[in-house]
Structure formats: structure tokens, C-alpha cells
Amino acid sequence: MASTKLPQHDYDIIIIGGGPAGFTAGIYAARAGLKTLLLEGASTVSQITITDLIENYPGIPDGINGLDLMQLFKSQALKFGLEILSQDTRSISKSDSEPALWIVNAGDKSFQTLSIIAATGAQWRKLGVPGETEFAGKGVSYCATCDGPFYRNRDVVVVGGGDSAIQEALFLTHFATRVTVVHRRDRLRAAAILQKRAFAEKKIEFVWNAVLAEVAGGDFVTGAKIKDVVSGEMKTINAEGVFIFAGRLPHTSIFHNIVQQDNAGYIITNDTMNTSAAGIFAAGDCRAKLFRQVVTAAGDGANAAFSAELYIGNLKGEAY
């Protein structure tokens, strides 16, 4: 097929987001010889960089600090020629050209690109109570799969009553001595099957109609101060871990009205990471899916880059 003349553009791919999905997409795209820019947020950090120890990423049997793992992703991507810019992406729009280009406005710059990979991630909803930020990584956690094994034979508190809270509480019973679920209502939001399992689990206790008021501790967490929302009474539950599952917030506002999203704001893709908009792909925690882990984000990133490569090959008339 003969090469097609395309409108003037700055990049083949712009990847938005500097977490495992974004950098994996960057490694694959740059290695494929595509002119690729990765925009990492100037005012946000990937969730992985605040994870103390990742011990379930394949190939690293001794585990690795989240920030160190991201540095490895980044140096590997740079080796293949990925361009990186620390700027918050402000908006995305479509050009009037044929074929249309995507215009990405980041900081005070504007770029035209053939395709975009959204890898903007999601973050756990914070409760904003005293001690929550101070003890992050020192007993406060938002991921039982990541941190559960550190609480072998210890007491932990789980905050929340949804599927995540109850599924993670069940997972924590593999390690912890006692798991106290603190929920603001008198019944759970979680699916019936999870509720049934949790009620049958001897290690799980429930404190109803209560909210987390403060995380207490010295160098590390020693307890959760909770408040009864009916009586106003305060009490402290001794625990070395406080796991908070109050829902997640995807970073997808710049994609509103551009790609289809689910009710919670996650970007809907097919299994090759195509979104509802031609030339926009999504990878990692910002897309609607079941399991959000470093390894699944990396897999998404590779798939998104490959799909973008096929898309660009078709646009350029270079598809094999």
C-alpha cells in the first residue's frame, strides 16, 4: 500500500499519564519507532510511587519500592527514545483536518497527534481524616493485595462497606488475627455473596454506624479512632493497619464528552484498548475493568501501544 500524506502533526502518539500503563505504552511505542510523547502530570503522582513495597510484580522475587520500579520503567522507555514532559494536560480536542488529528493542550503548550493513549489512572478516595496522610505507607493502606502480607498475626481495621472493602477484608483474614470492618451504615453495600462469606468468617468483626475519625499512632499506626454516627460516642480500636476502601476516583475529566465512560467515569474500551473515539486508546486504572494492579496496567499499556501502532499504520497507508 502506498504511503498516505497526512496533515502536519507533532507526534504519532501522545501518552497521557506517567504510571505503569503509560510507561509500558511508551516502551512499546518508542521501540516500534513511533514518535511518542509521554505527558506525566506535574501536579499528580502515579499511585504506584506511594507504594512502599511491591512484591507481586513478576520477575522481582525480593520485591521493589514503587518509586524505584517506576524509575526502571522510565529509564527503559528513555532508552528507546520516548520523549517525556512534566505538564498537566488541560484539554483535548479534535482538528477539522481529514483525517482528524487530536490536539492536546498541556501546560502552556499545544501538540497535534495522530493518536492518544489515556493512562491517567485512578486514586482511592481519601477520607481526609487526621493521620490518614501522615501514616500512608506506615499502616494506612488502600490495597490489601499489596500490603496484606505485612499484617500477619496483627489486627487491622477496614473502612467501607462496598465490594472492595469486603473482598479485601476477606483477603486480609489470610494474614491478620482480627479484621474489624467499620461501616457508616447498619448494613453493607457489597454483593450478597461477599456479605455471606464475610458474616461466616470468624476473624471478621463489624462495627456498624461508625466512621473513621482519626488514625492514631507514633512512628507507625497503633489504632483507629472511630465515631458512632448515631450516639456521637468515640472509641479507639487497637490495630496496626487501617485499610480504607471508600471508592475510587478515576482521573478522566479531560476525556468527558470525548470517549464513552461508565457511570463512575472509567473509560470504556474493548479488549484491545480501543475507546469509542477513533485514535484514542486507554490503559490501566483509568479504564473500566475488574482488577487494578501494576501487572495488569503494564499489560494494558502494551496492548494500547500495539493497537495505536496498527491504527497509525492504517492512517499512513503502511499497514502490512
Q: Label residue 215 exposed, middle or buried (CB < 10 Å: 0-12, 13-18, 19+).
A: buried
Active site residue 143: yes
The minimum distance between CB 164 and ligand NAP, in angstroms, equals 3
Q: Look at residues 75, 22, 24 and name the one whose alpha carbon lies nearest to residue 44.
A: 22
Q: Which cell numbers in the block locate residue 205?
A: 468483626
CA separation for the pair 168, 243 (Å, rounded): 9
Dihedral (CA of 261, 266, 271, 272) sign? positive
Distances (CA, A) of 166 to 34, 180, 285: 44, 11, 20
Pick 294 or 305: Cβ nearer ligand NAP: 294
Pick 160 or 223: Cβ nearer ligand NAP: 160
Pick 52 or 163: Cβ nearer ligand NAP: 163
Pick 94 or 189: Cβ nearer ligand NAP: 189
Dihedral (CA of 295, 297, 302, 306) sign? positive
Out of 52, 88, 143, 163, pick the active-site residue.
Answer: 143
The minimum distance between CB 73 and ligand NAP, in angstroms, equals 26
Q: Which residue is nearest to ligand NAP (CB)?
A: 162
Pick 119 or 190: Cβ nearer ligand NAP: 190
Out of 146, 155, 285, 300, pick the active-site residue.
Answer: 146
Strand partners, 282: 118
CA separation for the pair 288, 292 (Å, rounded): 10
Active site residue 286: no
The minimum distance between CB 202 and ligand NAP, in angstroms, equals 22
The minimum distance between CB 183 and ligand NAP, in angstroms, equals 6
Strand 241-244 relative to strand 248-250, pairing? unpaired
Pick 186 or 318: Cβ nearer ligand NAP: 186
Pick 31 or 189: Cβ nearer ligand NAP: 189
The minimum distance between CB 227 and ligand NAP, in angstroms, equals 11
Residue 110's CB: how many other CB atoms inside 10 A? 13
Q: Look at residues 234, 228, 318, 236 and name the one whose alpha carbon lies nearest to residue 12.
A: 318
Which residue matches cell numbers 489486627? Answer: 155
CA separation for the pair 167, 170 (Å, rounded): 5
CA separation for the pair 130, 248 (Å, rounded): 20
The minimum distance between CB 211 and ligand NAP, in angstroms, equals 5
CA separation for the pair 156, 203 (Å, rounded): 11
Residues that bind ligand NAP (CB under 6 A): 127, 160-165, 167, 184-185, 189, 211, 245-248
The minimum distance between CB 288 and ligand NAP, in angstroms, equals 10
As a dihedral over the C-alpha atoms of residue 257, residue 262, residue 264, residue 266, rounded to 10 degrees, the angle is: -80
Out of 12, 147, 285, 300, pick the active-site residue.
Answer: 147
CA separation for the pair 114, 130 (Å, rounded): 46
Q: Which residues are catalytic?
A: 143, 146-147
